């Protein structure tokens, strides 16, 4: 899949999830490097601890190549019904979920097997 | 655990088959099935006996299991469903010989776009629904042995090659609300294959085979298997298994819903067993025979009870099919309606997501559709209910989407 298509699908599915909660604010930030990318989604909707735990479990579920390549095609595309972050979780390298005020910040990291997100060049706030 | 269950089932089929008909007759029957037309409805029990049909089904299931193993994928909801479905259809249409070229075609397709077999594993396993196309090309045109074999193999490889592209497109059509997406995909391809064959030859219908005799062995096989699965679930999970079963009943079931991952293996086993018991009870109540297609159908819905089907999302659809059957004057125990009731659970996610009324409507439409669609692809797509269900789901999903997208927000 082309990188542009993948990014569009990820943004579509994540937006669907966030907008289900009817937030007043949603910010999507993309940072690309040659062998990986970082997508951050921030909202201001209220999320319970149980919701965030479920979100974390879904996005960081075990990799399912047999499902990702086939059913993953529905990610961010077939949006009738509840959002399905499991489709997304099978395709990303890992995810971090952090509370920000009332809302949440969801970091999605993508890359090949050699991609190490810990070395990813995300600028600090001060830079 | 799932591997032990499947290996036990396949071993039981082989053992039961051989004990039932003897080794010689069973082997002769299995060979006969490989070169027999396989289009709908060809009940292998009626054609070659219980022994040959059971052993053939076990060999088909084993092929699926080995493919999963060699792909390096662990067994879970979808792969369990695939093996059980393949085994079931090994009783009425699939043979090792007619499924292998399709799998090879899917592999070639994967290699062309730089993917691995494991990426298209589910498509390869369920894509074997077009096995009868391979058998038709090989054995229905009176070709000499070698050209017949080559024609079947070539047709199967070409078929498999096209399936991944079609399968992904068909998913978008119903958005995951038809569990047997490969049924829709194979039916879609089958339309073209049937048109090509009919364009160049006389492609007559094959005589239908439907085993009607009563057999205690056939009647008890699924209920006993179901009870064993429920017992296994309770032993492994205890009270937690029942809580997980309750959780499973709350999942809409839209593709892909792996109950083993989303709840637990123990809860899934109880769900599988319950679906098997309720399905068997229905067959007993309407006085139908437990034959190849019926047992195959029950195996399939039991497989999908780990991957989208449960009692809560199934009953409205089944009620819709039964109502439509009665209103159209069809007997409930005739082949079409029996299979429609069993396989209509392909539409279970519709009632799971949109409620009882929509699920009931889907079931009602499904019966009317499935009674027609078989002839469209010449009976070459074994998942005819998946095909009809996919078309029904696409209709319902498009109407709901149109309504939700256009009605003014409050």
The DSSP secondary structure of B335-393, one letter per residue, reads: HHHHHHHHHGGGGHHHHHHH-HHHHHHHHHHHHHHHHHHHHHTTT--S-HHHHHHHHHH
Residue to mutate among A66, A77, A85, with most B CBs inside 10 A, is: A66
Q: How far is CA B345 from CA A78, B157, B186, B298, B312, in A?
A: 21, 30, 18, 11, 11
Record: contact A81-B175, CB cut-off 8 A:
yes
Residue B268 sits in the same domain as residue B365? yes
Quote the radius of gyration of chain B (alpha carbons, Å).
20
Among B101, B77, B195, B210, smallest CA distance to B154 is for: B101
Type and span of the H or E element at A26: strand A26-33
**Residue B65 maps to a domain:** yes
Per-residue pLDDT reduced to its tens digit, A13-30? 999 999 988 899 999 999
Task: Please report the DSSP string for B2-52 in residue order.
Answer: HHHHHHHHHHHHHHHHHHHH-HHHHHHHHHHHHTS---SSB-HHHHHHHHH
CB B393 within 8 A of CB B177: yes
- Residue A111: predicted pLDDT: 79
B359 close to A (CB below 8 A): no
Same domain, B255 and B386: yes
Is B176 part of the contact surface with chain A (CB cutoff 8 Å)?
A: yes
Question: How confident is residue A6, by pLDDT bands cut at 50, 70 and 90?
Answer: confident
Based on the fold, state whether residues B63 and B188 are members of the same structural domain: yes
Q: B121 at the A interface (CB within 8 A)?
A: yes
Let me know: does B39 contact B383? Beta carbons within 8 Å: no
Q: Are residues B281 and B373 in the same domain?
A: yes
Domain-embedded: residue B409? no
Q: Which residues contact B199 (CB under 8 A, 6 or more apart)?
A: none
Considering only CB atoms, A66 lies closest to which of B79, B164, B172, namely B79
Q: What is the pLDDT of residues A49-77, one digit of tens each?
A: 898 998 898 899 888 999 998 999 899 88
* B255 in the same domain as B228: yes
Whether B98 and B185 map to the same domain: the answer is yes
From B175, B200, B225, give the residue that closes a domain: B200
- Four-way CATH pick for A3-112: 1.20.1530, 3.30.565, 3.40.50, 2.40.370: 3.30.565
Cβ <8 Å between A81 and B252: yes
Residue B410 is assigned to a structural domain of this protein? no
Q: Mean pLDDT over residues A22-44, rounded?
A: 90
What residues does each domain of chain A span?
3-112
Examine the domain organization and report whether B193 and B225 are in the same domain: no
B116 touches chain A (CB under 8 A): yes
Residues B276-310: tens digit of each pLDDT: 999 999 999 999 999 999 999 999 999 999 999 99
Looking at the 3D structure of chain B, how many domains does it have?
2
- Closest residue in A to B256 (Cα–Cα): A71
Phi, psi of B42 (to 5 degrees): -120, 95
B200, B225, B241: which is the final residue of a domain? Answer: B200
Residues B35-59 as b or e (16 or more Cβ within 10 Å = b): bbbbbbbbbbbbbbbbbbbbbbbbb
Domain annotation covers residue B207: no
Measure A8 CA to nearest chain B CA, in Å: 16
Between CA B22 and CA B19 the distance in angstroms is 6
Q: Distance from A49 to chain B by nearest Cα, in Å?
A: 19
**Which ranges of chain B have pLDDT less than 70?**
410
Which of B299, B307, B366, B323 is CA-nearest to residue B60? Answer: B299
Q: Is the per-residue pLDDT at A126 higher than 50? A: no
Task: Give yes or no for a contact between B271 and B242, defined as CB atoms under 8 angstroms apart.
Answer: no
Task: State whether residue B252 sits within 8 Å of chain A by CB.
Answer: yes
Indicate whether B211 belongs to any domain: no
Pairing relationship of beta strands A94-100 and A103-111 according to DSSP bridges? antiparallel
Q: Supply the DSSP string of B277-292, one letter for each residue.
A: HHHHHHHHHHT----H
Residue B209 counted as domain residue: no
In a domain, B194, yes or no: yes
Structure tokens at A70: 């086939």
Would you give the DSSP letter of residue B75?
A: -
The reported pLDDT for the residue numbered B183 is: 97
Secondary structure of residue B239 in the 3-state scheme: helix
Does residue B208 form part of some domain?
no
Rg of chain A over CA atoms, in angstroms? 14
d(CA A61, CA A3): 22
Q: Which residue range forms the structural domain that includes residue B319?
A: 216-403
Q: B166 and B262 share a domain?
A: no
B218, with CB counted inside 10 A (0-12, 13-18, 19+), is buried
Nearest CB neighbour to B171, from listed A73, A81, A82? A73
pLDDT at A78: 79
Residue A125 has pLDDT above 90, yes or no: no
- Chain A residues near any Cβ of chain B (below 8 Å): 61-62, 64-71, 73-74, 77-78, 80-82, 84, 86-87
Report how far residue A90's alpha carbon sits from residue B132's, in angstroms, rounded to the nearest whole number: 34
Q: pLDDT tens digit string along A70-104?
A: 999 899 887 788 888 888 888 888 899 999 888 99
Cβ atoms of residues B181 and B372 within 8 Å:
no
pLDDT of residue A127: 41
State the ipTM, two decimals.
Answer: 0.88
């Amino acid at each position: 899949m082309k990188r542009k298509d993948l990014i569009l699908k990820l943004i579509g599915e994540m937006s669907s999830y966030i907008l289900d909660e009817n937030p007043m604010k949603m910010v999507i930030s993309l940072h690309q490097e040659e062998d990986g990318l970082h997508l951050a989604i921030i909202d201001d909707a209220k999320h319970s601890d149980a919701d965030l735990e479920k979100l974390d479990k879904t996005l960081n579920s075990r990799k399912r190549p047999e499902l990702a390549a086939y059913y993953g095609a529905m990610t961010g595309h077939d949006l009738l019904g509840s959002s399905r972050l499991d489709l997304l979780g099978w395709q990303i390298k890992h995810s971090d979920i952090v509370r920000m005020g009332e809302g949440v910040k969801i970091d999605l990291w993508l890359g090949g097997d050699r991609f190490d997100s810990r070395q990813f060049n995300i600028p600090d706030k001060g830079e | 655990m799932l591997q032990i269950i499947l290996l036990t089932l396949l071993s039981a089929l082989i053992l039961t088959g051989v004990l039932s008909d003897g080794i010689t007759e069973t082997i002769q029957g299995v060979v006969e099935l490989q070169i027999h037309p396989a289009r709908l409805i060809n009940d292998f029990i009626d054609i070659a006996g219980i022994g040959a049909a059971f052993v053939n089904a076990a060999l088909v299931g084993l092929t699926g299991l080995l493919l999963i193993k060699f792909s390096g994928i662990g067994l879970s909801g979808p792969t369990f469903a695939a093996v059980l479905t393949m085994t079931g259809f090994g009783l009425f249409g699939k043979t090792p010989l007619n499924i292998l070229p399709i799998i090879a075609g899917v592999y070639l397709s994967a290699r062309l776009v730089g993917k691995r077999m494991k990426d298209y594993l589910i498509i390869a396993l369920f894509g074997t629904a077009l096995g009868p196309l391979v058998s038709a090309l090989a054995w229905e045109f009176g070709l000499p042995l070698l050209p017949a074999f080559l024609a079947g193999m070539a047709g199967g490889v070409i078929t498999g090659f096209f399936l991944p592209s079609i399968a992904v497109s068909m998913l978008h059509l119903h958005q995951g609300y038809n569990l047997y997406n490969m049924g829709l995909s194979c039916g879609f391809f089958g339309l073209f294959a049937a048109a090509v064959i009919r364009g160049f030859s006389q492609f007559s219908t094959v005589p239908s085979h439907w085993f009607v005799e009563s057999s205690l062995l056939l009647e008890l096989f699924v209920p006993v298997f179901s009870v064993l699965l429920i017992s296994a679930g309770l032993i492994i999970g205890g009270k937690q298994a029942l809580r997980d079963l309750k959780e499973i009943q709350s999942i809409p079931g839209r593709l892909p819903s792996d109950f083993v991952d989303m709840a637990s293996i123990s809860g899934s086993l109880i769900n599988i067993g319950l679906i098997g018991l309720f399905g068997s009870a229905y067959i007993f109540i309407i006085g139908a025979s437990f034959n190849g297609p019926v047992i195959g159908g029950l195996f399939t819905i039991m497989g999908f009870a780990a991957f989208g089907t449960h009692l809560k999302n199934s009953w409205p659809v089944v009620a819709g099919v039964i109502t439509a059957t009665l209103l159209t004057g069809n007997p409930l125990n005739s082949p079409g309606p029996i299979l429609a009731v069993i396989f209509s659970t392909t539409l279970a996610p519709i009632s799971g997501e949109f409620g009882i009324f929509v699920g009931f409507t889907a079931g009602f439409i499904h019966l009317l559709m499935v009674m027609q669609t078989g002839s469209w692809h010449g009976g070459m797509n074994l998942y005819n209910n998946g095909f009809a269900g996919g078309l029904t789901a696409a209709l319902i999903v498009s109407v709901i989407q149109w309504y939700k997208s256009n009605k003014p927000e409050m």
